[in-house]
Structure 1
């Protein structure tokens, strides 16, 4: 009996290790793709702002307004289907029903094409209403309608491949999408602003149209990946279990049923940004005699300038979220409660390991990084420092909401998001009265904290999370991050004594040693005290030996 129990325990431990390995590997691919695409999406801002010249602040505000509306329409157009497909494909693959997964993909493609066409037409025709009285926003919204047309089928294919835990094609497509997009943005902006000496509104419109160009590049990469894996998928279909009882109509219904909560939940951050977009100007006018130019300038600081930078570190969380959904869905299909608990704990600890040092590191070098991207501005630096800390609850939402969806707690997650939106509305004015331009970020951060608490409490009630076991790693991460923050701040203060922090080039060359010191301190501490081993596996021992760390 003991030997039987031992064998069972060994199998369970092996399965748990495999799941953790998949989580780490998948997260690595998705995080790498997300980060590189976010970096490219931020780095183009440096020449873009320079070429916009005196119009850069207004251009940033216009870009942000158009993209917030586009993001909302894109979420509705994709209808949460990529994540729903990823979850359902993993579910049926976990049951060895690969033929159903294939039919699911085809059904999802029909739905996504229809949604893309409908949302694109609505977005194009309703641009005047959505612009809320700003005529400059109309052509920007219409230029983005083209991307809404083609991105849904592209996203479906990403979700399908993720359901097989093939994360590399998704990561590569994200990167290529951003390369095509950024290349078009820079070429079009240079042509309009520097060669033609044209309108800054036209330059912004062409920059937003680049989303369509980027999508075409991503589609090409995903098509290549699909045909590369086609033989393997066909083999799995042939050898898998057949389930003729699941009809195409039933699959479409399942997709829509699963997708509707995904629309709402994945729109969480976008909903909060839209609340800011439509409430910030009237509330600012209520609080003081501010001109439209001043309001747009402050709005650009947190909605575009800081957003472009802190979304880079939130992309860490997005990568882990994409990996968590299919793994949790597979465990849920097999009714493996222990595996679900361990994967939730792994995802949370990995999130802390990546997100906390990244956000604190960005706060430590906020002055230098903001100056490199946008030129020195004391208000902008303050907003970025604050936003870096607020990115932790936003990133936590991305991971925690994805895990709730992975275990099919969609209704509960939607209710938690609804509570968060109510909290956001209640806190928006008091927070703006307290800290003016930082108010929207503070209200969003506090509302997200409420949502995150509700989610973690729900996980604990259902699965009994071992918070005591997680405490050591969590405390180490927080402690090492604080040490890193102090070290980087000290280095930046010393450099500022001999080098001006206000110039773009001097800020860039000051930034490099700060980043290197921060990385070196955190990596050394994580390896020295075995934190990396616990989270990333035994391979960290070899790295520690190579680096001569005891």
Structure 2
């Protein structure tokens, strides 16, 4: 019997859960995408001012940020995501007072962790440099951001637990905007007006993370105070849970957050494996200079990473939305709602990620030239990375959903085996494919993890794969058609205008994006794909554009 026909699974609840998912995803996607775009656009002037040192600077930036990302995961201790999940849980059972105490308790823990991790980064930088002394000042500059970001992140997680995604989205944008403004000003002053010391320019560029965090904190504080009266009313009207002590809440936060540290740092762990193994493995199979290795490392760890992470940020935005919604359904033990949330998230992921990844691959030459100048090797890496971003993004969404239904231990086992696979595949992949090897090894590991996640979901909830097959196949078919059309257009334009200049590349890139987006949108509207995934709100577009 189809569980969707049972009384508990009304069309109203389906529409409500889908509405929450779409609304939350829209806010988080907008904030994440705008932040990622800002975080990519700055590269154009930044690389120009770095001049001949650009790839070396990119490699140094990537090394410092990989270490920073890991410490930041530990400093926040997975608490923002854990808080988001737990707040949604207690709100779902009408215990808003417990949610408030959770926030206060989590703040104590995260501030203490931020202080400890910041001190370790600052004074232990020489132990983490991997043999490159230029990394030391970069790590130390990032220690300031680790000091303040945990408190900022805990507030984001608390507001997300109420399904208020707008403050998080806006704070992400403000954080990135201030960061980019500071790093560009500092880099211009050092490289164009000052000493021209590229290591100092990179150090100031990474210190900009601290400046951006301060701006985000101000906006989140304003958002919190603006909603405080509404939250106070919910607390006063909710149930009083006298049996939940502060000590128990802190213990629950730590217990819940430990898996989040490991799981959410999955991609960072894979990047750190690359950082500390790539150089040595390459030396086993050839006589390469430090300059050559840093250049190749920059191509996949920074240059391509900056661009494909824009579309992975789409998956991250959806992941942030999925956790509290699933946690709320889990708190109510609503199996049907959990199934719907998982199916909605998977279909929305496919709808966004697959065409975005194939679109990036189709315009890889143009977008790489705009951001970094024409480089055949860099373009090849980006094309390959665009396809690899699909399993990367799937990991982000899948891991978040596993956490949302409290399958943390199982997810940690999947990740542990995935890391082992990464180590096994890393050496032969680098031997055979050089700079593409680390990307391939990570993708193989991610594919295994993703299979385990989907298999686990299906065993527990019996997903309706038959019903999901048609929209999934449509997404793939429309994306492939879009890819083929854009690729042909780019090849034809390449015969008319030079593919080597930034301005001509930008001109063709705009044409490619407009055509690709238009083709996919037309097919999705004509064959009612958007209706299946997003409801009938887009029916008016068919009439406006005379699509039958």
**TM-score > 0.5 by shorter chain:** yes
Q: TM-score, structure 2 length as denominator? A: 0.99
1:116-160 Cα offsets, whole Å, 9 max, x none, are 000000011110000022110000000000000000000000000
User: In 2, distance between residues paired with 1:151 and 1:409?
Assistant: 27
User: In 2, distance between residues paired with 1:546 and 1:422?
Assistant: 53
User: In 2, distance between residues paired with 1:8 and 1:47?
Assistant: 58
User: In 1, distance between residues paired with 2:413 and 2:521?
Assistant: 39
Residue 179 of structure 1: aligned partner? 177
Asked if 1:252 is matched to 2:244, the reply is no
1:70-100 Cα offsets, whole Å, 9 max, x none, are 0000000000000000000000000010000
In the TM superposition, what is the alpha-carbon distance from 1:549 to its structure 2 partner? 1.4
User: In 1, distance between residues paired with 2:8 and 2:238?
Assistant: 26
In the TM superposition, what is the alpha-carbon distance from 1:7 to its structure 2 partner? 11
Structure 2, gaps ≥5 residues long: none
Match for residue 193 of structure 2 among 192, 195, 202: 195
The alignment covers a number of residue pairs equal to: 546
Match for residue 531 of structure 1 among 529, 532, 541: 529
In the TM superposition, what is the alpha-carbon distance from 1:6 to its structure 2 partner? 12
Residue 467 of structure 1: aligned partner? 465
Asked if 1:34 is matched to 2:32, the reply is yes
Match for residue 486 of structure 2 among 482, 485, 488: 488
User: In 2, distance between residues paired with 1:126 and 1:107?
Assistant: 28
Residue 441 of structure 1: aligned partner? 439
C-alpha change, 1:6 and 1:151, in structure 2 (3 Å) is closer
Residue 276 of structure 1: aligned partner? 274
**Corresponding residue SS for 1:215:** helix
Residues 282, 431 of structure 2: 8 Å contact kept: no
Equivalences for residues 210-359 of structure 1 within 5 A? 210-359=208-357
User: In 2, distance between residues paired with 1:421 and 1:6?
Assistant: 38
C-alpha change, 1:426 and 1:473, in structure 2 (3 Å) is same
Say which is worse superposed, 537-546 or 512-521, in terms of deviation: 537-546
C-alpha change, 1:10 and 1:545, in structure 2 (3 Å) is farther
Poorly superposed stretches of 4+, deviation over 6 Å: 5-8
In the TM superposition, what is the alpha-carbon distance from 1:10 to its structure 2 partner? 7.5
In the TM superposition, what is the alpha-carbon distance from 1:14 to its structure 2 partner? 1.2
User: In 2, distance between residues paired with 1:126 and 1:545?
Assistant: 63
In the TM superposition, what is the alpha-carbon distance from 1:8 to its structure 2 partner? 7.4
Asked if 1:476 is matched to 2:477, the reply is no
Residue 98 of structure 1: aligned partner? 96
1:372-417 Cα offsets, whole Å, 9 max, x none, are 0000000000000000000000000000000000000000000000
**Corresponding residue SS for 1:465:** coil
Residues 299, 381 of structure 2: 8 Å contact kept: yes
Residues 35, 172 of structure 2: 8 Å contact kept: yes
Residue 409 of structure 1: aligned partner? 407
1:210-254 Cα offsets, whole Å, 9 max, x none, are 000000011011011101111100010011111010000000001
Asked if 1:162 is matched to 2:164, the reply is no
Q: TM-score, structure 1 length as denominator? A: 0.98
User: CA RMSD for the aligned pairs?
Assistant: 1.2
1:296-338 Cα offsets, whole Å, 9 max, x none, are 0000000000000000000010000000000000000000011
Residue 386 of structure 1: aligned partner? 384
User: In 1, distance between residues paired with 2:4 and 2:119?
Assistant: 61
Residue 115 of structure 1: aligned partner? 113
In the TM superposition, what is the alpha-carbon distance from 1:456 to its structure 2 partner? 0.4
User: In 2, distance between residues paired with 1:467 and 1:287?
Assistant: 45
In the TM superposition, what is the alpha-carbon distance from 1:494 to its structure 2 partner? 1.1
In the TM superposition, what is the alpha-carbon distance from 1:62 to its structure 2 partner? 0.2
C-alpha change, 1:11 and 1:473, in structure 2 (3 Å) is closer
C-alpha change, 1:279 and 1:7, in structure 2 (3 Å) is closer
In the TM superposition, what is the alpha-carbon distance from 1:490 to its structure 2 partner? 1.0
User: In 1, distance between residues paired with 2:139 and 2:534?
Assistant: 43
User: In 1, distance between residues paired with 2:6 and 2:463?
Assistant: 22
User: In 2, distance between residues paired with 1:477 and 1:439?
Assistant: 29
Residue 369 of structure 1: aligned partner? 367
Residue 129 of structure 1: aligned partner? 127
Residue 85 of structure 1: aligned partner? 83
**Corresponding residue SS for 1:61:** helix
Residue 46 of structure 2: aligned partner? 48
**Corresponding residue SS for 1:349:** helix
Say which is worse superposed, 190-199 or 481-490, in terms of deviation: 190-199
Residues 9, 337 of structure 2: 8 Å contact kept: no
